Structure 1
Amino acid sequence: MTKVNMSQRKIDGFIKLAEVIQWGRKNPVKFVERFFGMELLDYQKYAFIESWYKQYVLWCMGRNSGKTTLGSPFIMAKSLLIPNFQAYILAGVGSQSQEMFLKIEKIAKREIASFTGLTDIFYNETVKSAANTDGFTHNPASFQYKLYNGSIVNSLNGSFDNNRSKRSNLNFYDESGFAPDELFTTSEPFAVQNSDFRLGGDVDVTLFPKQMPNQLIYASSASSTDTYFYRKYSDFAKKMFLGDKRYFVADISSDIVINATFNGKLYPVSLLSQETVDAAMRDNKEKAMREYKNIFTTEGSDNQIIKRAMIIRNSETRPPVLVNDGNRKFLFAIDPARNHDNSVCTIAELINDENVGYRLEISNNVSWTDLEKKKKTPIKTPDQVKDFKRMLINYNGIQSADYENIERILLDAGAGGGGMNAWADGLLEDWVDKNGVKHRGLIDKQHDEYKSYISKYLNAADKLSLLSPQKLKSDMFESLIEMMDLNLISFTETYDYKGEITLPTDDGEGKKYKLTDEEILSLTNIDLAKEELVSIYKFSGSSTKVRYDLPPDKKHKVHDDRA
């Protein structure tokens, strides 16, 4: 007997719905395939089903292995099959959590071309209104969708301090290998309450069926051994190996993705190609090992001056700056070379911030490399100087007086790279650009070698500083450590080889920005600079004197020019 009178037809309908839901809970992969129309590769099915009922889950999946593609139907199925389900999508950067929410939305609306059999079943379950015609809302603070069964899914886009005192059945941490510890310490308590707890009224709690456990899912490519993600990876894996059924870790490397099977047979088209992995290995081996082979980068002891977490904390999603589009001020730092090492130039914008004073944004990094040579040594010095002058015009601004917007040009004066005889001497004379416009030369009036040249080159601008890194190396690295600790140096976000980035917008939607080849090259070089920075160690000598250098195990594997 029930308190509500229902027809037999309605009762039969409810029983059929209950049977479908119970079948879906027992067979979530088949439910996704049949009701959402999404086919999954075998390794995705394995990770999906093993994660379905585990309380603590971690997916260490390399680039292009489909973390978001797997996480989206997982959240969709949970919210559809469990009434009054609450899930939060979280990431270190708000745009990342938004991106996963938008993936769910596109799947629901059948807007993804690679999924040819998508259905509208999930879309029909979203709660709509006159103001919200598709069931998906995009409040800048939190994207949200609601289902008729009372389930709600939110993306958390704001600052971590605002994300407290919430209740959740599932926290999904996207790209958690690169998120700060504070994200986890403030949000993990969302899911601590026992999902079986009931209290109040005349309810006999012993009659309720056992509930699905609240879950924490951490998804990312490998990061470094000093991150929160790695600590969870290590802890969860050990507990899984010891037989604790609450824990599951999936370690999906590029080899598994390239050789993925579908229903037991090798799939003819893979999500990732071997050529992509090989190219990444050539460009930046340590980064590629981390992102494709799931080899966590081992962070050093206290002797490592810049930890990867510091760089992650100070990285932001923005394209590199290749030209001056206003009255912005730029710094150039050049470490020239000819036969050995890299010949590199870093350009950074100097910003007078009303909150913190002067700070620096790394805008571009250029490596003057002769790609036709087998050993990829630098191009001829005159060609390096010629390209530097081109960039000098771009960063000063075509409509501005000579070097008006160039704060300073810092040049390594060492003999090995020809800093004085090839560079400084060659920059003294006035020069003409490709458009026939004449420009002033450059001189360092403070340098002893060039004080006698001041009267001879009266038109040369005093914008050049010739520096001896061997004398100033300790001072420069100690200043770098201090500026990084104060969060006064900003880097571009790690490039993911997708050819585009998603820029944050005021409405929270995110805007796709297609990168040019030069911008891709710049982001790749800035990433190399980050790898070099975390490879520099502090060594103490017999006296109080210290030196900063690459450790012995990296001496002939990693460069230090960009650092």
Structure 2
Amino acid sequence: MNDHNMSQRKIEGFIKLAKVIQWGRKYPVRFVERFLGLELLDYQKYVFMESWSTPFVLWCMGRNSGKTTLGSPFIMAKSALIPNFEAYILAGVGSQSQEMFMKIEKIAKREIASFTGLTDIFYNETVKSAANSDGFTHNPASFSYKLYNGSVVRSLNGSFDNNRSKRSNLNFYDESGFAPDELFTTSEPFTTQNSDFRLGGETDVTLLPKQFPNQLIYASSASSTDTYFYRKYRDFSKKMILGDRRYFVADISSDVVISATYNGKLYPVSLLSQEKVDTAMRENKEKALREYKNIFTTEGSDQQIIKRATIIRNSEVRVPVLANDGNRKFVLAVDPARQHDNSICTPAEFYYDDNQGWKMNISNSVSFVDIAKKKKTPMKTPDQINHFKQMLLDYNGSRSADYENILQVLIDSGAGGAGVSAWADGLLEEWSDVRGIKHKGLIDPTHDEYSIHAHQYPNASNKLKLVSPQKYKKDMFDALIEMMSLDLISFTETYDNKGFITLLGDDGENTQYKLSSDEEMALVNIDIAKEELVSIYSFKSTNGSIRYDLPPDKQSKIGDDRAYTIAMLAWYLRNLRRESIVNKEKPKVNWSNAPSFISSIDF
């Protein structure tokens, strides 16, 4: 007998368990396959094994390469094989870290249909209670689970600036290529303490076994060269190439995923198809090169007016708005085209924030393209106007008076798109919708073309503004730079083409929102708009004047029409904010108390 009065059978059981744990620590991939029942492709095994005991790790893995699928069993294996292990799952937005945590939970509960051999071994190791029947807690501030060996894994869902002074053995940064620098500077110190440090009692620390090192793992597809993720990618790669075994970088492009092998043989069904990559390359080449080929986008130093990091900072997971529920206010900006250019309409929701004043959310982006044409050129102008009229109804709200919820319609009046001769003329007269209901026309009574004829259209609404690019383009892009720097313009989060987005409910639970085809198209177009925004440069002429345009190397590869409409909206936002400041009601002074007030002042 011993101090704990254990039977020989129990001692043998503990010895067997110790042998399994030691075997799992030595062969973690085989542990995952045998005990979790999760099979890995050969490139995933390589990444898993090389990352197992490396302190500084970076996974640059393209879309559909299985970053989250690989990170989940990695964290599960660490927490199961290392007693008192603590890990944090972090991301730029809380829903992203929750999504990875939910992947771990689904693996443990055998709820993933594509993984046919999953076991319940890990699920049986989670600490359960009467209030928590499965061991996984979904506190809005942090999802977590705890194992019987004392290991704890948490996701950080809230503001990362509030998460300081914590201790961790592993920080896993999901989608770290699109997270702000503040996330890393506030959380990387979690792993600062040496994992081998021990103090207290009569323990001889020189006799204790060496512990697994604390780890930082950055996982993402490629981003841009001005991001924190790229700086780590560059630094870690250099050190790995020079032979420093504390660093490991995995660069897994779509080519590796498409031709992936399993136990040395080409797997018959790949995670990613070549057709999907080709489609992405046609729709948005620069984005596709980043997401599938791991080619980081080069930023334009001081000439680039909007940095990608600014776009990332002002992007949020939300559903695009395709119609008004009657409680919102919208501005619609149109850059019309007839032949070769894009014809774009960008609606934005304007709202008043008590602390920051007027702000706007980019709600949608619509391209008036004729899908029947081989080159997908714009549809005929009358068809564009008819489509736009329906958008007016949608964004005004079906139960509201004509244009009650439309603050302004902005239309580029340049000659190339016929903004005056076709669009403005086409919107003057009253018109009927598909149900036969009549609606007012639109007019810009301040424009030279219509100021003397405004009396002929007394029933036309004056919520139309024709914007001259020759007169206002520089001012519009100046406004765009100013509004973006103040974080007053919000975009939707980058769409991953999954057909759904994960939203955080009021109860702290994640919900999957299934997108309609129109909502998917809106997200894709907003992503294209963001690419255009970061591609606009400022050019200074010899006389000191500044113009905004695409650089020569991008003029034939990408458009600027979506960016132009967002500049129009930013211009309206800046003017609206100035107007609200100028017309702000001044505080009233009760002058009846003036004599006593003045006499109390010590001159």
What TM bracket, shorter-length normalisation? over 0.9
Asked if residue 344 in structure 1 is aligned to residue 344 in structure 2, the reply is yes
Q: In structure 2, how many angstroms separate the alpha carbons of the residues matched to 1:500 and 1:437?
A: 35
Amino acid aligned to 2:485: D
Indicate the residue corresponding to 1:114 in structure 2.
Answer: 114
The equivalent residue for 2:485 is: 485
Structure 1's consecutive aligned runs of 4 or more residues displaced over 4 angstroms after TM superposition are none
Which amino acid is the alignment partner of residue 144 of structure 2? Q
Preserved contact between residue 329 and residue 407 of structure 2 (Cα < 8 Å): yes
C-alpha contact 1:138 1:507 (8 A) present in aligned 2: no
Q: State the alpha-carbon separation in 2 of the partners of residues 3 and 182 from structure 1.
A: 51
| Partner Cα separation in structure 1 for residue 482 and residue 17 of structure 2 | 62
Equivalent residues of 1:348, 1:360 under 8 A apart: yes
Structure 1 contact 370–376 (Cα < 8 Å) conserved: yes
- Give, in angstroms, the shift of residue 509 of structure 1: 1.5
Report if aligned partners of 2:88, 2:168 keep a CA contact under 8 Å in 1. yes
1:412·1:468 contact (CA, 8 Å) conserved in 2? Answer: yes
Aligned partner of residue 217 in structure 2, secondary structure: strand
Q: Per the alignment, in what secondary structure is the counterpart of residue 436 of structure 2?
A: coil
Query: Secondary structure in 1 aligned to 2:251?
Result: strand
Task: Tell whether the 8 Å contact from 2:145 to 2:153 is kept in structure 1 after alignment.
Answer: yes
Deviations 1:496-540 (A, max 9, x none): 000000112222221111111111111111111100000000111
- Structure-2 residue corresponding to 1:200: 200
1:69 partner letter:
T
In the alignment, the residues of structure 2 paired with residue 205 and residue 2 of structure 1 have an alpha-carbon distance, to the nearest angstrom, of 25
Give the equivalent residue in structure 2 for 1:540.
540
- Residue 44 of structure 2: aligned partner: 44
Listed as ranges, the matches of 1:66-85 within 5 Å are: 66-85=66-85
Matches within 5 A, 1:405-554: 405-554=405-554
CA distance, structure 1, for counterparts of residue 349 and residue 537 of structure 2 = 27
| SS of match in other structure, 1:337 | coil
Q: CA deviation at 1:370?
A: 1.3
Residue 156 of structure 1 aligns with which residue?
156
Where in structure 2 are the equivalents of 1:391-406 lying within 5 Å? 391-406=391-406
Q: CA deviation at 1:555?
A: 1.5
Match for 1:419: what amino acid? G
Q: Distance in 2 between matches of 1:269 and 1:72?
A: 22
Please state whether the residue corresponding to 1:325 is helix, strand or coil.
coil
| Structure 1 residues 31-180: aligned runs within 5 Å | 31-180=31-180
Task: State how far apart, in whole Å, the 1-side matches of 2:109 and 2:245 are.
Answer: 36
Contact map agreement 2:396 2:402 (CA 8 A) in 1: yes
Question: Which residue identity is paired with 1:511?
Answer: T
User: Residue deviations 1:285-320, cap 9 Å, x none?
Assistant: 000000011000001111100000000000011111
Q: How does 1:290-301 map to 2 (within 5 A)?
A: 290-301=290-301
Instruction: Give 2:326's aligned residue.
Output: 326
So what's the TM-score if we normalise by structure 2?
0.93
Structure 1 residues 236, 373: closer, same or farther in 2, change over 3 A? same
Cα contact 1:55–1:213 (8 A) shared by 2: yes
Distance 2:7 2:495 in 1: 59
**Per-residue deviation at 1:2?**
5.5
- Tell me if structure 2 keeps the 8 A contact 1:305–1:536: yes
Counterpart AA for 1:457: Y
8 Å contact kept, 1:369–1:377: yes
**In structure 1, C-alpha distance between the alignment counterparts of 2:91 and 2:65, rounded to whole Å:** 18
User: Does 1:287 pair with 2:287?
Assistant: yes
- Asked whether the 8 Å contact 1:344–1:366 carries over to 2, the reply is yes
Rounded Cα–Cα distance in structure 2 between residues aligned with 1:202 and 1:10: 28
Which 10-residue stretch deviates more, 35-44 or 548-557? 548-557
| Aligned-residue CA RMSD (Å) | 0.9
Aligned-partner Cα distance in 1 for 2:349–2:469: 22
Paired with 1:50 and 1:2, the residues of 2 have a C-alpha distance of 41
CA distance in 2 between partners of 1:398 and 1:4 (Å): 76
Cross-structure match for 2:580:
none
1:56–1:215 contact (8 Å) kept in structure 2: yes
Q: Secondary structure at the match of 1:195?
A: coil
Q: Which residue of 1 aligns with 2:228?
A: 228
* Superposition deviation, residue 352 in structure 1: 1.0
Contact kept in structure 1, 2:444 and 2:463, CA below 8 Å: yes
Q: Is the 8 A contact 1:342 1:561 kept in 2?
A: yes
Residues of 2 paired with 1:377 and 1:545: CA distance? 34
Contact kept? 1:95, 1:508, Cα under 8 Å: no
Given that residues 326 and 396 in structure 2 are in contact (C-alpha distance below 8 angstroms), is that contact kept between their aligned partners in structure 1?
no
**TM-score, normalised with respect to structure 1:** 0.99
Q: Which amino acid aligns with 2:337?
A: A
Contact 2:304/2:538 (<8 A) preserved: yes
**CA–CA separation in structure 2 for the residues paired with 1:12 and 1:406:** 76
Deviation of the 1:3 alpha carbon: 3.5
CA distance in 2, matches of 1:327, 1:202: 69
Name the SS for the 1:302 alignment partner: helix
Quick one: distance in 2 between partners of 1:429 and 1:2? 97
Identify the residue that residue 589 of structure 2 maps to in structure 1: none
1:351 aligned counterpart, secondary structure: strand
What is the rounded CA distance, in whole Å, between the counterparts of 1:506 and 1:425 in structure 2? 47
Q: Which amino acid aligns with 1:464?
A: L
In structure 1, the residue matched to 2:273 is 273
Residue in 1 that maps onto 2:370: 370
- What do the CA deviations read for 1:163-184 (whole angstroms, capped 9, x no partner)? 1000000000000000000000
Residue number in structure 1 paired with 2:187: 187
1:189-212: CA deviation from partner (whole Å, max 9, x where unpaired)? 000111111110010111111110
Deviations 1:355-408 (A, max 9, x none): 211001000100011122222110000000000001101111111111111000
**Aligned to 1:416, what secondary structure does the other structure show?**
helix
Measure the CA separation in 2 of the matches of 1:276 and 1:507: 36
8 A Cα contact 1:60 1:221, kept in partner:
yes
Q: Give, in whole Å, the separation in 2 of the partners of 1:553 and 1:50.
A: 39
Identity of aligned residues (%): 76
**Whole-Å separation in 1 of the counterparts to 2:256 and 2:30:** 22
How far did 1:9 drift? 1.3
For residues 461 and 124 of structure 1, the distance between their equivalents in structure 2, rounded to whole angstroms, comes to 67
Q: Distance in 2 between matches of 1:160 and 1:52?
A: 26
Residue of structure 1 equivalent to 2:570: none
The CA distance in 2 between the partners of 1:136 and 1:557, in whole Å, is 48
Matched position secondary structure for 2:449? helix
In structure 2, distance between residues paired with 1:367 and 1:33? 48
Q: Counterparts of 1:386 and 1:158 in 2: how far apart (Å)?
A: 44
Q: Equivalents in 2 of 1:508, 1:255: separation in Å? A: 38
SS of the aligned residue for 1:394 comes to helix
Q: Secondary structure at the match of 1:450?
A: coil
1:2-13 equivalences under 5 Å are 3-13=3-13
**C-alpha contact (below 8 Å) 1:500/1:515 kept by paired residues:** yes
Unaligned segments of structure 1, at least 5 residues: none
Helix, strand or coil: the match of 1:243?
Answer: coil
Structure 2 residue 360 is the aligned partner of structure 1 residue 360: yes
